[in-house]
Amino acid sequence: MNTKSYFFQSFAIVALAFIAFIGFKQILPDKIFPEGKLDSKNILIDSLLLESVANDSLSQKGDSISEDEKKEAGEKIIFDASEGIEFPPETFDNYKGYQYLISFYEKLYQLEKNPQSKVRIAYYGDSMTDGDLIVQDVRMNYQERFGGNGVGFVSIISESSASRGSVKALFSKNWKTQSYLNVKKPTSPFGVNGHVFFANDKSNSTWVQYEAGLTKFSTTLDNPTLFYGKASKKGNVNFIIGKDTLRKTLSPNNLVNTLKVTSGSIKSFKANFIQADSIPIYGFNFDNGTGVHVDNFSQRGNSGLPISMFNAGVMQAFNHNLKYDLVILHYGTNVLNYGTKNYSWYQRGMKKTVAKIKESFPGVSILIVSTADKSTKYDLEMKTDSAVVPLMKAQKRYALDTESGFVNLYTLMGGDGSMVKWVDEAPARANKDYTHFNQRGAKAIGNLLYSQLNKGYEEYKVLREKREAGERPKPVRKTKADSVSVLKDSVNE
């Protein structure tokens, strides 16, 4: 090909790309391209969401209702018994899916019997859980009841590092970061947190520093352990703890490798990475080895769809070390308001995400948390956005279709018009964007989430004891009438 022909072909490609972008922009939500100056640090929308939005808009389906969406609200959902336990039937309207959390509840039950065992939760979310909001309160509730100390897995870099109270992190500016929000083919596979980091240490020192936070059960860094990936060359890392320096070698032989900084609890440390620029670094885990541990994998701008790109083999390697019992998917903030109320495309996409979770963490229980209420101005009055309920129902449908538990955060916080109340009340529990909770509101939401999960656990214990009573010739601890009475009380709380 001659130079002139190559030039014109390249020019044509650029021109077509520009025209496509202009057309694409017209079908995207206004909020992706707001008027005025953009703050690029705070505006993140994942690439899979943009593609899904574009494909759905180009399909010209409008707001048609699928057959699944025509299910009557009162339709009865009958559960198949699992391990001899069957939760009472539910309707689509009141669907919670405790039946599909049985394996998680059994792990909690075993933890109550043996406080030296361990239960782990992965909490994936968007800006709603930024800065450990909501998640830290779910974590504290569980650790208050079942034991456990530590904030769990923490990424090397996070947009919310400066605002997070449960752990404090500082880091050098020369880290190279790849995120599943905008990179489809990373240099090395993404970690369980959806990121991979590289120490760009050729000219300047690359480091990260952690200090224990002030929140309950997080005042120490317990058993700090580095997670890193596979590479062809070894590297080194110096851990500075007080006046001591521990020099250790990174041996990146496996898909996922671990390196314990020190045993026990410390208040802070600094990690300097040396000649380690080719090694994928994921983050550090902090836990005391017993009780409940909750990892916060929040990412601003995330729709949940990028999880479907996880490398299942790498995730299984993470799971070999971390051993998850429950995965929570809390999304919706970035999916609202792109021009239609038909979220069947999102429903289909999130089914793929749940399938990837099941492949990555075999046997894990899955919980879907719906969008919260969000308010938009209609005729000079702030009201619940018209897209909130359609999205919430789509989330409930894919939860039901994938046999996942479900928390209806919209109704849990009060339903129609609740976000306006949370913003306008004194003291306020939500921000003036009528979308995000403040610290006070996040604590309330965390408590509500825990309460619903715990209610399911208490019902599970009653059903479990009923099953055991039925297996014994003579009930010892409870009569059948007592068990039924307790079940009735727990359901009516």
* Residue 266, SS3 per DSSP: strand
Report the alpha-carbon distance of residue 246 to residue 237 in Å, rounded: 8
Q: What is the pLDDT of residue 75?
A: 79
* Count of positions (residues) in the chain: 493
Q: Which helix (H) or strand (E) holds 384?
A: strand 381-384
pLDDT, greater one: 61 or 383 = 383
Query: Picking from 57-61, 233-237, 457-461, 481-485, which range would have the lowest pLDDT averaged per residue?
Result: 481-485
Whether the per-residue pLDDT at 438 is higher than 60: the answer is yes
> Residues near 52 by Cβ (< 8 Å), separated by ≥ 6?
303, 305, 345, 346, 349
How far, in Å, CA of 182 to CA of 178, rounded?
A: 8
pLDDT-derived band of residue 163, with 50, 70 and 90 as boundaries?
confident
Residue 458: name the closest of 483, 477, 481, 478 by CA. Answer: 483
Find out whether 197 and 280 touch, Cβ atoms under 8 Å. Answer: yes
What lies within 8 Å, CB to CB, of 322 at 6+ separation is 120, 122, 153, 192, 285, 295
Instruction: Give me the percent of the chain exceeding a pLDDT of 70.
Output: 80
Whether omega before 427 lies within 30 degrees of 0, making that bond cis, reads yes
Residue bearing the bigger pLDDT, 65 or 223 = 223
pLDDT, residue 161, reads 80
Cα 272 to chain center, whole Å?
Answer: 29
Q: Is 23's pLDDT higher than 90?
A: no
Q: What is the pLDDT of residue 423?
A: 97
Alpha-carbon separation of residue 468 from 194, 461, 474 (angstroms): 42, 10, 10
Q: What is the pLDDT of residue 18?
A: 42
Q: How many CA atoms lie within 13 A of 463 on its CB side?
A: 21
Average pLDDT over residues 332-356: 89
**Closest to 92 measured CA to CA, from 397, 365, 368, 354:** 397
Q: Is the pLDDT of residue 70 over 60?
A: no
The residues, ordered by sequence, that sit 6+ positions from 433 with a Cβ below 8 Å of its Cβ are none
Q: CA-CA distances (angstroms) from residue 359 to 235, 342, 354?
A: 32, 28, 9
**Cβ–Cβ < 8 Å for 213, 168:** yes
pLDDT in tens, 363-378: 999 999 999 999 999 9
Residue written as token pair 């391209």: 33
Helix H, strand E, coil C: the string for 370-438 is CCCCCEEEECCEEEECCCHHHHHHHHHHHHHHCCCEEECHHHHCCCCCHHHHHHHCCCCCECCCCCCEC
Averaged pLDDT for residues 182-196: 94
CA dist., res. 493 & res. 484, Å (int): 14
